[in-house]
């Protein structure tokens, strides 16, 4: 992947967490920052306070670059607005000199003290100081409990702010160039840098009990890490920053175990554990086993094996005759939403342990390690929980009856090397049936039922465990699962769950598993296709066989049936997300040529037009947008009309561009006010 600062992360994301480049100050809610809905806006978490740029509405932003530590907006006149979080308590940046920036809080006015203005929120001072030089206005924002300290921070930050900004840009761009060098050169996707930024923004410097870099879990009430998130993110970091991944792994391996030998589920910066700590899930080795081999040459692999084995053994039953091990509480379970130890006997803990044993055997090179335990567990699972009628693994009630619903734990044996072909094929069907475990965005936690008050969630953490299925499943099935996961990314573009970003990064090496053609026909269909002319001629002579001839002709059509079209459409989305834009164009072309569902054609033309536009094939994009608009006479696809105007402008047909954008404003302006403002700016720009 080639780093291009102009296309690396060009989309503004509202409520995107901002983090500091220097993390010497401990993470705290005091310094929590995020972007706002208005382009270029940022402030405290939950909008307690915000910074307003004072640029006004009449600005034409041509480029956006968003990173975990700040952003840069470029205007049509090539002036810039940029901001970096230097430290958790210091933000610095610059604006065009005409800007009138200010701090804002809904419940108070700013207080002017000398050259700076301040807000006081819950005993915390937030200060802003400005300095104008030439065509730029520089600003520094400080956050500190003491107003005097805050004033000193922002004053000193302004002294050499130009040098600081220049050094920051050089440092940060060089860092991203190094990240991108580690990835396939052809890799591209929409807003591709955002996933790296979301993950990297959580990485903290050594602090307190964490002796090297560690990964902050924002969901904890106190600053700290969770083992589940850490283990899922390390393989993602390893793909683009192996040095950082090794440091994170060292921190993880040095976390103190519980008395049982297991890792605790969470660890805190203040060193105080939970009052009643419970162990992390036993899925650690299975995920760490997916790390690139080079990582294990740079760390003490023996320590990895020892700690993973200690964690694993803490879950193994002391007396196998007592049955499979069970979760002690719902909170620590694989599917906590449907776990009730007082009513159910479950197999998923044992299934995870078999997966862990196989992964540990691979890491250690010792395939006899705990093999007797694995055989005992797997045999008990198949004997006690396999439903011969349903061809599924299902939990049991305490009185021995089968549970009504399948859970995500029923898919775990798909990860085993020891699962039989018949069972593997049966369990695999859960991934294809939308009435079982397949949701549009990935694997559900449990099978939905009509009486459920809520739909089963799709947890990013569950998806991470099943990433290796992309190697084990046939090409079409892998493409289907991958397409579901890529819809998960589309549904959460701001990566509110950072593990979603990590999952997207982890899928990059599997790009070559996606079959770009997906044309799988049975042999009898291919044979009939070969002799189609003869069949049709014969049928035209024998009038009594006209109905049969019609059926054969329909079967031989090159267009897709519904399931094939759905699969290919999902594959096209996957190719787009993974950055293979030329192949995605070819896939959408096949959809356009072979679709039986006329109602989808306008969307296919729009999608192909978007891809042509991204590749700067503006005339081809224009043709596709025109076709999409033609097929959508009632105006459902407002984006096709907006993009049509942009394409007209790119090919130099400004009169048509202005006419199209004005029609767009007239039709959609009230419903889409932000587009109305942007459209007005565009008309002004194109009229010059």
Q: Does residue 633 have a pLDDT over 80?
A: no
What are the backbone angles phi and psi of residue 260, rounded to the nearest 5°?
-75, -15
Q: What is the mean pLDDT of the chain?
A: 86
The residue whose two tokens read 């979760």 is 327
The pLDDT of residue 685: 78
Binned at pLDDT 50, 70 and 90, residue 57 comes out as low
Q: Does residue 532 have a pLDDT over 50?
A: no
Taking the C-alpha atoms of residue 277 and residue 335, their distance in angstroms, rounded to an integer, is 19
pLDDT, mean of residues 549-570: 61
Among the listed residues 371, 358, 363, the one whose alpha carbon sits nearest the alpha carbon of residue 306 = 363
Taking the C-alpha atoms of residue 196 and residue 207, their distance in angstroms, rounded to an integer, is 23
Question: Cβ neighbours of residue 519 under 8 Å, at least 6 residues apart?
Answer: none
Q: Which helix (H) or strand (E) holds 238?
A: helix 227-240
The pLDDT of residue 125: 93
Q: What is the pLDDT of residues 302-352, one digit of tens each?
A: 999 999 999 999 999 988 888 899 999 998 999 998 898 889 999 999 999
Which range (14-28, 249-263, 372-386, 602-616) has the least confidence?
14-28
* Cβ atoms 86, 99 nearer than 8 A: no
Taking the C-alpha atoms of residue 252 and residue 524, their distance in angstroms, rounded to an integer, is 55
The pLDDT of residue 1: 76
The pLDDT of residue 513: 55
If one compares 525 and 244, the residue with the highest pLDDT of the two is 244
Q: Does residue 555 have a pLDDT over 90?
A: no
Query: How far lies 368's CA from each of 282, 287, 315, 358, 371, in Å?
Result: 19, 20, 19, 10, 5
The pLDDT of residue 453: 75
Radius of gyration, alpha carbons of the chain: 29
397 SS3 class: strand
Query: How far lies 414's CA from each of 106, 114, 184, 281, 352, in Å?
Result: 53, 67, 29, 18, 11
Q: Does residue 280 have a pLDDT over 90?
A: yes
pLDDT, mean of residues 132-137: 92
Burial label, 289 (beta-carbon count in 10 A; 0-12, 13-18, 19+)? buried
Other C-beta atoms closer than 10 Å to the C-beta of 107 total: 8
Taking the C-alpha atoms of residue 167 and residue 210, their distance in angstroms, rounded to an integer, is 28
Half-sphere exposure of 232 (CA within 13 A, CB side): 30
- Which of 364-371's residues contact partners 24+ apart within 8 Å by CB, and which partners? 364/305, 369/309, 370/309, 370/312, 370/313, 370/316
Taking the C-alpha atoms of residue 341 and residue 326, their distance in angstroms, rounded to an integer, is 7
Q: What is the pLDDT of residues 190-241, one digit of tens each?
A: 788 999 999 999 999 999 999 999 999 999 989 999 999 999 999 999 999 9
Taking the C-alpha atoms of residue 522 and residue 498, their distance in angstroms, rounded to an integer, is 42
Taking the C-alpha atoms of residue 608 and residue 623, their distance in angstroms, rounded to an integer, is 10
The pLDDT of residue 320: 80
**Residue count (the chain):** 688
The pLDDT of residue 286: 94
The residue whose two tokens read 């081999």 is 293
* Cβ atoms 629, 637 nearer than 8 A: yes
For 431-452, letters b (16+ CB in 10 Å) and e give beeeebbbbebbbbbbbbeeee
What is the bridge-based pairing of β-strands 90-96 and 136-144?
antiparallel
Q: What is the pLDDT of residues 393-435, one digit of tens each?
A: 999 999 889 988 899 999 999 999 999 999 999 999 888 778 8
pTM attached to this predicted model: 0.77
The pLDDT of residue 90: 94
446 SS3 class: strand
- Report the alpha-carbon angle 465-469-471, nearest 5: 130
Q: Does residue 300 have a pLDDT over 60?
A: yes
Q: Cα–chain-centroid distance for residue 6?
A: 21
Among the listed residues 470, 356, 462, the one whose alpha carbon sits nearest the alpha carbon of residue 416 = 356
Q: Does residue 517 have a pLDDT over 50?
A: no
SS3 for 495-514 is CCCHHHHHHHHHCHHHHHHC
Query: How far lies 14's CA from each of 263, 332, 407, 531, 677, in Å?
Result: 35, 33, 34, 57, 18
Q: What is the pLDDT of residues 148-196, one digit of tens each?
A: 999 999 999 999 999 999 999 999 999 999 998 888 877 777 788 999 9
DSSP designation for 579: T
271 SS3 class: coil
Q: What is the pLDDT of residues 428-467, one digit of tens each?
A: 988 877 888 988 899 999 998 777 777 899 999 999 999 9
Taking the C-alpha atoms of residue 391 and residue 144, their distance in angstroms, rounded to an integer, is 61
Q: What is the pLDDT of residues 648-658, one digit of tens each?
A: 999 989 899 99
Binned at pLDDT 50, 70 and 90, residue 258 comes out as very high
């Amino acid at each position: 992947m080639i780093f291009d600062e102009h296309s690396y992360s060009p989309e503004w994301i509202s409520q995107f967490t901002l983090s500091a480049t220097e993390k010497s100050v401990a993470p705290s809610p005091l310094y929590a920052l995020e972007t706002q809905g208005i382009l270029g806006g940022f402030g405290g978490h939950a909008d307690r306070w915000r910074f307003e740029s004072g640029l006004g509405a009449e600005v034409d932003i041509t480029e956006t670059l968003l990173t975990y530590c700040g952003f840069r907006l470029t205007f049509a006149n090539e002036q810039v607005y940029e901001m970096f979080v230097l430290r958790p308590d210091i933000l610095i940046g610059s604006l065009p000199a005409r800007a009138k920036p200010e701090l804002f809080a809904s419940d108070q006015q700013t207080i002017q003290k000398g050259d700076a203005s301040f807000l006081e929120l819950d005993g915390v001072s937030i200060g802003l100081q400005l300095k104008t030089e030439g065509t730029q206005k520089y600003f520094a924002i400080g956050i500190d409990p003491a107003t005097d300290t805050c004033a000193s921070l922002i004053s000193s930050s302004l002294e050499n702010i130009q040098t600081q900004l220049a050094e920051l840009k050089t440092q940060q761009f060089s860092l991203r160039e190094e990240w991108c060098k580690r990835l396939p050169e052809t890799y591209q996707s929409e807003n591709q840098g955002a996933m790296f930024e979301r993950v990297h923004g959580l990485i903290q410097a050594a602090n307190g009990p964490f002796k090297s870099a560690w990964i902050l879990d924002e969901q904890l009430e106190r600053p700290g890490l969770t083992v589940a998130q850490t283990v899922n993110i390390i393989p993602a970091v390893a793909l683009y920053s192996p040095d950082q991944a090794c440091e994170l792994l060292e921190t993880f391996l040095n976390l103190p175990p519980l008395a049982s030998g297991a890792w605790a589920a969470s660890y805190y910066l203040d060193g105080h554990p939970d009052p009643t700590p419970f162990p992390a899930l036993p899925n650690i080795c299975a995920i760490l086993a997916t790390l690139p081999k080079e990582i294990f040459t740079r760390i003490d692999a023996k320590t990895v094996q020892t700690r993973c084995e200690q964690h694993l053994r803490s879950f193994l039953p002391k007396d196998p005759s007592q049955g499979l091990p069970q979760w002690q509480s719902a909170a620590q379970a694989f599917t906590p939403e449907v776990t009730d130890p007082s009513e159910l006997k479950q197999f998923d803990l044992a299934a995870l342990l078999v997966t862990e044993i196989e992964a540990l055997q691979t890491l250690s090179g010792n395939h006899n390690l705990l093999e007797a335990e694995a055989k005992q567990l797997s045999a008990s699972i198949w004997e006690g929980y396999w439903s011969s009628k349903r061809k599924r693994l299902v939990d049991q009630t305490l009185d021995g009856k089968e549970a009504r619903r399948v859970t995500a734990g029923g898919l775990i044996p798909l990860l085993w090397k020891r699962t039989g072909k018949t069972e593997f094929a049966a369990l695999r069907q859960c991934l294809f049936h939308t009435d079982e475990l397949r949701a549009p965005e990935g694997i559900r936690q449990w099978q939905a039922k009509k009486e459920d008050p809520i739909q089963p969630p799709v947890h990013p953490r569950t998806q991470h465990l099943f990433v290796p299925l992309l190697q084990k499943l046939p090409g079409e099935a892998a493409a289907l699962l991958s397409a579901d996961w890529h819809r998960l990314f589309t549904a959460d573009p701001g990566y509110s769950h950072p593990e979603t970003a990590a999952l997207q990064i982890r899928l990059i090496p599997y790009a070559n598993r996606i079959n770009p053609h997906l044309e799988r026909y049975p042999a009898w269909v291919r044979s009939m296709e070969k002799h189609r002319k003869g069949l049709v001629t014969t049928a035209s002579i024998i009038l009594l066989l006209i109905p049969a001839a019609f059926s054969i002709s329909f079967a031989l059509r090159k267009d897709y049936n519904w399931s094939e079209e759905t699969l290919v459409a999902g594959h096209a989305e996957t190719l787009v997300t993974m950055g293979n834009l030329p192949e995605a164009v070819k896939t959408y072309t096949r959809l356009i040529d072979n679709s039986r569902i006329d109602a989808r054609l306008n969307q296919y033309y729009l999608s192909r037009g978007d891809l042509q536009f991204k590749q700067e094939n503006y005339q081809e994009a224009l043709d596709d947008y025109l076709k999409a608009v033609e097929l959508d006479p009632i105006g459902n696809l407002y984006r096709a009309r907006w993009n049509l105007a942009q394409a007209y402008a790119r090919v130099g047909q400004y009169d048509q561009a202005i006419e199209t954008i004005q029609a767009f404003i007239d039709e959609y302006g009230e419903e889409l006010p932000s587009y109305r403002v942007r459209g007005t700016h565009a008309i002004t720009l194109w009229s010059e």
